[in-house]
Amino acid sequence: MNFDQPIDRSASCCIKWDRYAGRDVLPLWVADTDFQSPTEVLTALHQRVDHGVFGYTQPCQALIDEVVDFQKRTFDWEIDPSWLVWLPGLVSGLSVCCRAFAAPGEAVLTSTPIYPPFLKCPGAMERELQTAPLALTGGRWEFDWDAFRAAMDDRTRLYLFCAPHNPCGRLWERGELEELAAVCAERDLVICSDEIHNQLLLDQGQHIPLATLSPEVAARTVTLMAPSKTYNIAGLACSYAIIPDAELRRRFVAAAAMIVPHPNLMGYAAALAAYRHGGEWLEAQLDYLREARDMVQAAVDDLPGVSMTHIEATYLAWIDCRELGLERTAEYFEDFGLGFQAGREFGLPGFVRWNLGTTHANTREAIARFRRAIEALS
Ligand SMILES: Cc1ncc(COP(=O)(O)O)c(C=O)c1O
């Protein structure tokens, strides 16, 4: 559990580092970390490989029991195993929701800025995208309910929600969730609640699955979860939807049928080991990520023309560079050796997203480069 240990990812066909292969650019974009997964996950994968037979596989009862238990012990959410629908990834879950709950010509709403697939899935499924901006109020990203209501019309069928929020780092409070649920109920929207970052809490506080608010909210909600972000196993493709309402579940499963493949069997093995044994590793990782967040926050607070809101959850910092007046913000920083993800992909140009999931040595180097990039403007 040494998060300072540098691991060379260059020969592993990794998306994050390959983008800048052969260039001196630190990759701080796509949301995985440079950390090795918990030892118990590696052991479970070795054991699965040693078995040597990799045919069609379903989630074993132990994994189903573990997910049910995880929901209970982590969120006090009692789920029925029949509510689970296994998926290879959450993005396919977003697309399946678009297909299942809005007809062609009908609309899907989301709030910006947002993780880019939220903006792409509706169009890819030939549904209309509607967006409502979040508001930056008193140094905190919040819902703007007037803008939210104004963005909807009588074609809106589905709201794509992200909790905790990528890229704004918000751990939504109960009151905000209740208001969201009430506004969606006004128009009888289905809510797809992407809760992939639910264990990555940097502040004190509790992630509240939206569907736990009440049976009425649960009946209109598809919750998407996975251990993939928490334990850095996204490449193993194992996720799940929790859909309490039988009719929503039927529509979701029908929309996925013959298109969405099963999860990878290695993913099942890793998910079980991660949920069962990953607690101590996760606490250590969270401490490490908190230190990285605090380093980046201090540096940003100290520099002119940039700011960031406090990151309550996720390992992603969302940096406001609008005052710098740059034409292409992410490209400017790339010239200084920083591979950020551009805010325009999230629906908000002038920002960059900074992935904190790397060694402190890389974070310190990134901060030094960021400082140079800002100073070069004065
Ligand atoms: C909010 C959110 N949803 C989904 C994903 C990716 O999901 P998957 O790789 O399971 O498709 C990410 C990855 O960054 C994410 O941040």
Give the model confidence (pLDDT) of 92-120 as tens digits: 999 999 999 999 999 999 999 999 999 99
Q: Is 228 in the pocket of ligand 1 (CB under 6 A)?
A: yes
Q: What is the distance in A from the centroid of ligand 1 to the CA of 197?
A: 9
Q: Is 96 in the pocket of ligand 1 (CB under 6 A)?
A: no
Q: CA 207, CA 165: separation in Å to the nearest integer?
A: 11
pLDDT for res 72: 98
Res. 378: pLDDT tops 90: no
Contact in structure between 113 and 351 (CB atoms under 8 Å): yes
Q: Which residue, by CA, sits nearest to atom 13 of ligand 1?
A: 31
Q: Per-residue pLDDT averaged across 133-149, rounded?
A: 97
pLDDT for res 61: 98
Q: What is the distance in A from the centroid of ligand 1 to the CA of 202?
A: 18
pLDDT for res 1: 80
Q: Is 341 in the pocket of ligand 1 (CB under 6 A)?
A: no
Q: What is the distance in A from the centroid of ligand 1 to the CA of 342?
A: 17
Q: Is 116 in the pocket of ligand 1 (CB under 6 A)?
A: no
* Average pLDDT value for the chain: 98
Report pLDDT digits (tens) over 276-329: 999 999 999 999 999 999 999 999 999 999 999 999 999 999 999 999 999 999
Q: What is the distance in A from the centroid of ligand 1 to the CA of 378?
A: 37
Report pLDDT digits (tens) over 37-52: 999 999 999 999 999 9
Q: CA 273, CA 275: separation in Å to the nearest integer?
A: 6
Residue whose tokens read 């009151």? 175
Res. 123: pLDDT tops 90: yes
Per cent of the chain over pLDDT 90 is 99
Q: Per-residue pLDDT averaged across 23-36, rounded?
A: 98
Q: Which atom of ligand 1 is nearest to the CA of 316?
A: 16
Q: Is 167 in the pocket of ligand 1 (CB under 6 A)?
A: no
Report pLDDT digits (tens) over 175-230: 999 999 999 999 999 999 999 999 999 999 999 999 999 999 999 999 999 999 99
Q: Per-residue pLDDT averaged across 230-253, rounded?
A: 98
Q: Per-residue pLDDT averaged across 260-272, rounded?
A: 97
Q: Is 223 in the pocket of ligand 1 (CB under 6 A)?
A: no
Q: Which atom of ligand 1 is nearest to the CA of 31?
A: 14
Q: Is the pTM of this model over 0.85?
A: yes
Q: Which atom of ligand 1 is nearest to the CA of 228?
A: 10
Through-space distance between the first and last CA atoms of the chain, rounded to whole angstroms: 41
Number of neighbouring beta carbons within 10 Å of residue 54: 11
Q: What is the distance in A from the centroid of ligand 1 to the CA of 165?
A: 11
pLDDT for res 143: 98
Q: Is 114 in the pocket of ligand 1 (CB under 6 A)?
A: no
Grade residue 358 by pLDDT with cuts at 50, 70 and 90.
Answer: very high
Q: Which atom of ligand 1 is nearest to the CA of 89?
A: 10
Grade residue 65 by pLDDT with cuts at 50, 70 and 90.
Answer: very high
pLDDT for res 228: 98
Q: Which two tokens stand for residue 349?
A: 């140009």
Q: What is the distance in A from the centroid of ligand 1 to the CA of 60?
A: 24
- Those residues with Cβ within 8 angstroms of residue 123's Cβ, 6 or more apart along the chain or in another chain: 129
Characterise 257 by phi-psi region: left (phi > 0), alpha (psi -120 to 50), beta (else): beta
Q: Is 233 in the pocket of ligand 1 (CB under 6 A)?
A: no
Q: Is 90 in the pocket of ligand 1 (CB under 6 A)?
A: yes
Contact in structure between 190 and 332 (CB atoms under 8 Å): no
Contact in structure between 238 and 67 (CB atoms under 8 Å): no
Q: Which residue, by CA, sits nearest to atom 9 of ligand 1?
A: 89
How buried is residue 137: exposed, middle or buried, by Cβ count under 10 Å (0-12/13-18/19+)? exposed
Res. 356: pLDDT tops 90: yes
Run of H or E including 26: strand 26-27
- Those residues with Cβ within 8 angstroms of residue 244's Cβ, 6 or more apart along the chain or in another chain: 79, 80, 83, 211, 215, 218, 219, 221
Q: Which of 341, 286, 290 is nearest to 318 (CA)?
A: 341
Q: How far is CA 296 from CA 26, 54, 158, 241, in A?
A: 15, 43, 36, 34
Number of neighbouring beta carbons within 10 Å of residue 213: 17
